[in-house]
Each structure stands twice: as structure tokens, then as C-alpha cells.
Amino acid sequence: MMHRRALLGSLAGASATLGQASAQENTYATPGPPQPFPPEVFRERRRRLMDQIRGGVAVIYSATTLEGEGQDPNFLYLTGIADEVNCALVLAPEERINKETLFLANRDIESERWEGARMPLGSEVERITGIANVSRMGGLGGQVTGMASRAGKLCFMGPLAGPNAPVPRALELYRNIQTRVPGVSIEQSAMMIPYMREQKEPREVEKIRRAITATERGHRAAMRRARVGMHEYDVKDIIEFEFRAEGARGMAFPSIVGAGRNSAVLHYPLDTNTIQAGDMVLCDLGAKYDYYCADITRTFPISGRFNDEQRRIYELVLQAQEAAFRVARPGVHYSALQDAADNVFRQAGLIDSFWHGLGHFVGLEVHDAGDYNRPLPVGACFTIEPGLYLPDRGFGVRIEDMYLITRNGCEHMTASVPRTVAEVEAWIAGGA
């Protein structure tokens, strides 16, 4: 890789010409990733959100970097923009003309030489987002101040932050506006978008199903091809190759593969252990398809057959998962599912070996937005993942599946992934 500073001298002579070309707003030399949905989808989501913030103004920021967790999921959900940073969406439903405005990052010619041209103002933005009014971030503060002075209310959409965390950018902007415009209030609205995201649209469910298909392929390959003497990272390589072969663009989170005692570590961070004869192998993994995540865990015996102790613990975990699944339906609180699983382990005298919550919502994030204190709505997509962790016996078991609340009950979305003792053993042995 070339060093940025070393090229500055050689680029200087051409800077005027190149800068002039790069600055043209109709030039977009770096095409972005494919968009998951047409612009009408994002326009409708914004309309629904604006219906809730009547009389107010809301600012939703993009991520500041795409490294790590990538685009801010609320910004992506409302705009469809996945690969632009330092942007902001402003919603002002009471404005006569500009009810929605997108502010893109200011142009940085030097940065664009290394990282590619940023999104230009103009038709490309509207094609992706459905937003016609687009400006640069330099004008954000002034425009929002004017809108706030007319509306009298700023709606804080999050993120919620702990006492020691940095002040969220939107809240910092709002407080600055309050000092300039007396009488403007700040309203806590941080759960509006999470409530929307919690209820998956059918088109979102289809993306999640594609992510599940890739994840299932990874699990099946791991079960069948893992061998004694392999390293845990060898199994990860098998899994992640299958993700890509199925069309997944990335991983929902770093794959977890733990063998032997490592299968009793909740989020085992390493992958250097050598798989030994008799080990249980825990694989917790998820592909990402068009920005939507899957999350499935399977635990299997490297020998291909569960011994008596492994089978007993495995079937207890499976029993707990089934107990929770039977409770799941619209209007039930997630805590009822947790109680059902806990009761299985409590009756077996193993509740102290279940070390974590039962599951989480899944969507644009692997631990997706939602409210566990509300009844489960139709469209909620979540995991049920009980586990028993027995390091003193040299293994742990976790079984994680994904579910969807429907009008008539609850769908087990990942039922095709080998799960019962008989299914796992048959698949490892080469069965269909």
C-alpha cells in the first residue's frame, strides 16, 4: 500500500486540474453498494416517522466512520444510504416546502483521491433516498436553527447515552440551538425509530431469510467438514467461505467457534485452539445480506455422535428452547419466554449454569432495536438461545434459532438447520 504523505509532492502539480474535476457535483466515480430497496420504501418510512413528530424537528446523523459496525442503522433505515459518513437527515413536517432535507458531508478532494469520490448533490441522491432537497453539512446548523425557531420543538431521536459517554451529536446541536433561540424545547423521542424497526416489513423479512440461508450453509459445512486436529480458525474459514458463496456481503458479527472447554465461554474471542477427540464444538455465527443479519448457534460433537452426558445436556437445552417457543405469540412479553426456559433449567437443577438472557431482536443489527418491556408485535424477529455452560465438565451447549411473530402465532425461521440430536448426527454422518 502506498503511503499518503509520500505522494503529496507528485500530486501537487496536477492538483488544480484534478481538484476541479473531482469537485464537480455530477461526478460520482465510486459507485456505492447495491440498495436494498427502492426509494419509495424510505420515503414511506420517513412519512410514518414525521406523522409521529408533528410540530417538531428531528435530526438523525449518519455514522462518522464505516469501520467497525458500519452505517448508523437508523440513518440507513430512513435513507438507504449505506456508505456515506458525516451526513445528517433533517425531518421538519411543519415546514411548508422542505419537510425533509439530506445534508451530505462537505467535499474533501484530498480524501477522495484515496477513498473515492463522495456522493454528489443531485439526481443520484434522490434515486437512492427519494429526497429531493439535498445540501452540504456546512449549512446544517443554520437551517435547523431556523426550522426550530418556527416549530418551537426539537425531537431527540437518540442514541441514548450513559453518564460517561460523549454527548450525542444531535443533542449537542439541539443545546446549541437552545442558547440562540429561547423557548425551544427538546422532546425525548428516542424510541420512535426503534419501535418502527422492531416490526419488520415483509420485504425486510425476505432479506433476513436470505441471510439465514447463507448462515445455514455455513453451519452445515462446519458440522460435516470439521475434524479432530483442525484449529478453530480452520472451521471459521470454512464457514465464512460458504457465506460468500451464498451471496452474503459480510458477517453480522465475528464468527464464534469454540471447541472443548472453549464451548463453555459465552463469547469466546479467540480461535487458536486445536480440536481434540471427544470435543463439543460450538459455532455461533451469522451472515449479513443487504445489511440484514442472521444469528444461529449450533453445538455438535466432533466425533459425530453425542456421548451420554453430552446428549443429556443438549436435550435439556433443546427442551428449554422448545418451551420458550411454545409461549411465543403476538401480545406476549419476551419475559414470558425467558421464564419458560428458566423453568426447564430450574427443574433440572442447572439454572446456575445458564448465564445470559434468552435472546434478542435481529434485523439491521444483530442485536437489533426494540423494546423488551412491550408485548411482542407482529413482525418482531428475534432469537431464542438457551445454553448450559459446564467448564468443569469440559463443554458447554448453546442452541440459537430465529423466530418471527406472525398474526397467527410464531414462525420458527431456522427450523431447517439440523438441530435435534438425530438431525445433527445424521447430517455429520453424511445424510440429507
| Secondary structure of 321-379 in HEC code, one letter for each residue | HHHHHHHCCCCCEHHHHHHHHHHHHHHCCCHHHCCCCCCCECCCCCCCCCCCCCECCCC
Domain co-membership, 224 together with 332: yes
Say which CATH number the domain at 133 has. Answer: 3.40.350.10
CA-CA distance, 11 to 397, in Å (whole number)? 58
Peptide bond into 34 cis (omega under 30): no
**Pair (99, 156) in one structural domain:** yes
Q: Which of 195, 225, 258 is the last residue of a domain?
A: 195
**CB atoms < 10 A from the CB of 167, how many?**
10
Indicate whether 252 belongs to any domain.
yes
What is the reported pLDDT for 159?
82
pLDDT at residue 328 tops 70: yes
Query: Which residues have CB under 8 Å from 224's CB, separation 6+?
Result: 427, 428, 430
Is 4 domain-assigned?
no
- Determine, yes or no, domain membership for 10: no
End-to-end Cα separation, the chain, in angstroms: 46
Q: What is the pLDDT of residues 142-176, one digit of tens each?
A: 999 999 999 999 999 988 777 777 889 999 999 99
- Which residues, other chains included, contact 405 with Cβ-Cβ below 8 Å and sequence gap of 6+? 328, 329, 330, 376, 377, 378, 379, 380, 381, 382
In a domain, 375, yes or no: yes
Q: What backbone torsions phi and psi does residue 61 show, to the nearest 5 degrees?
A: -90, 150
Residue 106 forms part of a structural domain: yes
Last residue of a domain, one of 141, 171, 195: 195
The answer to whether residues 117 and 26 touch, using CB atoms and an 8 Å cutoff, is no
Domain check: are 124 and 204 in the same one?
no
29 pLDDT higher than 50: no
Same-domain status, 312 and 424: yes
* Residues spanned by the domain of 72: 31-195
Residue 78's Cβ-count burial label (10 Å; 0-12, 13-18, 19+) is buried
List, for residues 87-124, the tens digit of each pLDDT value: 999 999 999 999 999 999 988 888 778 877 777 777 88
- Residues 240, 180: one domain? no
> Is residue 25 a part of any domain in this protein?
no
Rounded distance, CA 408 to CA 322, Å?
18
The answer to whether residues 124 and 262 belong to one domain is no
Q: Look up the CATH number of the domain holding residue 399.
A: 3.90.230.10
**316 and 414 assigned to the same domain:** yes
Whether residue 219 is found in the same domain as residue 281: yes
List the 57-61 sheet strands across, edge first. 134-136, 100-104, 88-91, 57-61, 153-156, 185-188
Contact predicate 259/180, CB 8 Å = no
pLDDT confidence bin for 431, thresholds 50/70/90: confident
Q: Give the count of domains, the chain.
A: 2
- Gyration radius (Cα) of the chain, Å: 25
Section 255-282 average pLDDT? 96
Q: Are residues 356 and 227 in the same domain?
A: yes
Mean pLDDT of the chain: 91
pLDDT tens-digit readout, 292-312: 999 999 999 999 999 999 999
Structure-model confidence comparison of residues 36 and 10, the more confident one: 36
Q: Are 288 and 400 contained in the same domain?
A: yes
Task: Check residue 33 and give its pLDDT.
Answer: 61
**DSSP H or E stretch at residue 138:** none
**Cβ atoms of 283 and 312 closer than 8 Å:** no
How does strand 287-289 pair with strand 250-251? antiparallel
Beta-bridge mates of residue 404: 381, 411
**Residue 415, in any domain of the structure:** yes
Kindly state whether residue 273 falls inside one of the protein's structural domains. yes
Q: Is 89 exposed, middle or buried (0-12, 13-18, 19+ CB in 10 A)?
A: buried
Express each pLDDT in 47-90 by its tens digit.
Answer: 999 999 989 999 999 999 988 788 999 999 999 999 999 999 99
Q: Are residues 213 and 91 in the same domain?
A: no
Burial code of 340-375, b = ≥16 C-beta within 10 A, e = fewer?
bbbebbeeeebeebbeeebbbbbbbbbebbbeeeee
Of the residues 195, 214, 246, the one at which a domain ends: 195
Q: Are residues 186 and 255 in the same domain?
A: no
